[in-house]
Amino acid sequence: MKKALFIMLFAFAALSAVMAQAAAEEDVLTVYSYDSFASDWGPAGKLIPAFEEETGIKVNLVSAGDGVEMISRVELEGEDTNADVILGVTDDFAYRAYPYIESYESPVLSDIPDELKFDPENRLIPFDYGAFAFVWDSECGLDKPKSLSDLTDSQYENKVILIDPRTSSVGLGLLLWTYNIYGDGEEFESWWKAMKDNALTIADGWSSAYGLFTEGEAPIVLSYTTSPVYHVMNDNTTRYQAIVFPEGHEATIEGIGIVKGTDKREEAEKFVDFILTEAQIDIAVANSMYPVNSSIELPDAFDWAPKPDVLFRSGATDPAKVEELQTKWLEIMTEIN
């Protein structure tokens, strides 16, 4: 009798533990983000613990690749996705995310300038922004390029790191940038053919590209106008400089959205509001991007992030045009090979 009672009590305790663990898992907010946000040098290491401490909400942060790969994962998972929030979708690829996210009228929207909002239904809410640029090692001994056309000069052969526009929002940014400068005709094709010769490699994402650059593999890399901020703040050097071209630069805006059908709606809203308020300065510094919240004051290091006089907003480009440009780019690259 005692043995049977012991077995029953043990089984009940085991069942209670399993149920408690399941309940704990249900209380976790799952956030999909791009790799650099969740990396050792990204803002997540500081922000996630701060949010958890402030709200009591546990966060499961999933590093889901580059921004494009993150959307592809959500598309593949569909209604079965574990994500409650997706963070880091750029305006260029927003159209692919819209079917999977729902509107949120955050009270912080009033602090975000209208020109930075790219989704009229507020499914994706901007949290930072920047402009694509080539970052140059000023100690490399090469002439500083003064335009996109300059980059095709033979002195830059195997000296430039590019990024694939099919797998990276940064790579797509350059594709749209060149489209704005050259159109999609002969000049566009000529530029990309010349750059194929000058490219050391075409990386699959920004993290791998910039890692090669900082390791000294090549003196020029596709990145952001704000990238030098990191080196000023963390390395105490102005060696790495963003080059601003007079013809203009492609802008990029990153957004955050709540996944459709989540049963963590309240927790997700709190996380979004946190990203748009207390997290803004840390995201700006760690991501080397500009905060969207107009009330945020930036450190002096941002003086090394030059703002272009001309910005292209191709995030509103017809999705069919984006796909057409990606196909054209692939044909050019294949032809060269």
**pLDDT given for residue 93 in this prediction:** 82
Helix H or strand E encompassing 80: none
Question: Which percentage of the chain shows pLDDT scores above 70?
Answer: 91
Residue 136 makes CB contacts below 8 A (sequence gap 6+) with 142, 144, 145, 219, 220, 240, 241, 242, 243
196 vs 317 pLDDT, higher one: 196
Quick check: 27 pLDDT over 80?
no
Mean pLDDT of the chain: 88
Residue 9 lies in a domain: no
Task: Tell me the DSSP string of 172-235.
Answer: HHHHHHHHHHHTTSHHHHHHHHHHHHHEEEEESSHHHHHHHHHTTS-SEEEEETTTHHHHHHHT
Quick check: 316 pLDDT over 80?
no
Quick check: 6 pLDDT over 50?
no
Q: Are residues 122 and 56 in the same domain?
A: yes
Orientation of helix 319-336 relative to helix 169-182, angle to 10°? 90
Q: What is the CATH number of the domain that holds 88?
A: 3.40.190.10
Question: Can you tell me the distance from the alpha carbon of 189 to that of 187, in angstroms, rounded to the nearest whole number?
Answer: 5
Q: Are residues 215 and 324 in the same domain?
A: yes
Question: Can you tell me the distance from the alpha carbon of 312 to that of 56, in angstroms, rounded to the nearest whole number?
Answer: 41
Residue 134 lies in a domain: yes
Question: Can you tell me the distance from the alpha carbon of 71 to that of 251, in angstroms, rounded to the nearest whole number?
Answer: 20
Three-class secondary structure of residue 101 per DSSP: strand
Task: Supply the pTM of this predicted model.
Answer: 0.74
Instruction: Please write the tens of the pLDDT for every residue from 50-71.
Output: 999 999 999 999 988 777 888 9
Q: Are residues 107 and 247 in the same domain?
A: no
Residue 158 lies in a domain: yes
Question: Can you tell me the distance from the alpha carbon of 155 to that of 194, in angstroms, rounded to the nearest whole number?
Answer: 12
Its sign, for the CA torsion 260, 34, 64, 328, is positive
Quick check: 77 pLDDT over 60?
yes
- Residues facing residue 203 across a β-bridge: 163
Structure tokens at 49: 């613990």
Instruction: Please write the tens of the pLDDT for every residue from 237-270.
Output: 999 999 999 999 999 899 999 999 999 999 999 9
Continuous H helices in the chain:
2-26, 35-38, 44-55, 67-77, 94-97, 169-182, 186-198, 206-214, 228-234, 265-275, 280-287, 319-336
Instruction: Please write the tens of the pLDDT for every residue from 159-187.
Output: 999 999 988 889 989 999 999 999 999 99
Which domain does 22 fall in, by range? Answer: 18-129+252-302
Q: Are residues 83 and 218 in the same domain?
A: no
Residue 98 lies in a domain: yes
Q: Tokens 């640029």 sit at which residue?
A: 133
Quick check: 46 pLDDT over 50?
yes
Instruction: Please write the tens of the pLDDT for every residue from 83-138.
Output: 999 999 988 788 889 999 999 999 999 999 998 998 999 999 999 999 999 999 99
Q: Tokens 């001994």 sit at which residue?
A: 141
Residue 10 lies in a domain: no
Three-class secondary structure of residue 166 per DSSP: coil
Residue 275 lies in a domain: yes
**pLDDT given for residue 18 in this prediction:** 37
> Exposed, middle or buried, 190 (CB in 10 Å: 0-12/13-18/19+)?
middle
> Exposed, middle or buried, 41 (CB in 10 Å: 0-12/13-18/19+)?
exposed
Neighbouring C-beta atoms of residue 45, cutoff 10 Å = 14
CA 313, distance to chain mean position in Å, is 16
Give me the number of domains the chain comprises: 2
pLDDT bin (cut points 50, 70, 90) of residue 26 is low
